[in-house]
Amino acid sequence: MEIKRKLEILADAAKYDASCASSGSRRSTPKGGVGNSTGMGICHSYTPDGRCVSLLKILLTNSCVYDCHYCVNRVSSDVPRARFTPAEVVQLTLDFYRRNYIEGLFLSSGIPRSPDATVEELVQVARSLREEHGFGG
Ligand code: SF4
C-alpha cells in the first residue's frame, strides 16, 4: 500500500483520539483562495504557555485485537486497515517538518499483537526522531 493511502487511513482513524479543531476536517475555498484543509492528519494543539502548534496526528496502525465498543478501530469494525512501520513515521514526520507543515508529532496506535510490542514500536519512533535525527519537536 502506498504511503499516501496509509496516511489517509491512519490520519482519519486518529481524529477520534483527542479533541482538536481542525483534525480530519475538510474545507475548500473558491479557486485561488487560501485556507483549504483536508483530512490528512494535521491538527492544532496548545502548549502550556498558550502557543498554538501544528501536529502531524496519526496512528501507527488502526489494526487492533481488542473490541472496545466505542472505538472505530475495534476488531469487529468494518474499516480499511493500514500500518506504518516506525521508519515510515519517522520519515513522514521529518518530511512534513522540513516543509514547515508541522512542529511536532501526535502518535497513537491500535494494538495489533500485544500492548508491549505496540509500545516498543512507539518508543522506537520517538527514539529515532530524538536520538538519530535530533528532532526537538
Ligand atoms: S484497544 Fe483497540 S479497540 Fe480498544 S480503544 Fe484502543 S484501539 Fe480501540
Convert the pLDDT of each residue in 91-134 to its tens digit. Answer: 999 999 999 999 999 999 999 999 999 999 999 999 999 999 99
> Which of 12, 59, 68, 79 to mutate for ligand 1's pocket (most ligand atoms within 8 Å of CB)?
68
Name the residue at shortest CA distance from atom 7 of ligand 1.
Answer: 110
What DSSP line would sit under 58-121, residue for residue? Answer: EESB---S---TT-TTSTT------B--HHHHHHHHHHHHHTTS-SEEEEE---SS-HHHHHHH
List pLDDT tens digits, range 33-65: 555 555 567 888 888 888 888 999 999 999 999
Looking at the DSSP bridge assignments, the partners of residue 37 are: 27
Contact between residue 105 and residue 55 where contact means Cβ atoms under 8 Å apart: yes
CA of 60 to the centre of ligand 1 (A): 13
Pocket of ligand 1 (CB under 6 A): 64, 66, 68, 71, 73-74, 110-111
Instruction: Name the residue ranges covered by the structural domains of the chain.
Output: 3-132
Q: Is the pLDDT of residue 79 over 60?
A: yes
Atom of ligand 1 nearest to the CA of 73: 8
At 124, is the secondary structure helix, strand, or coil? helix
Give the cell for residue 28.
Answer: 475548500
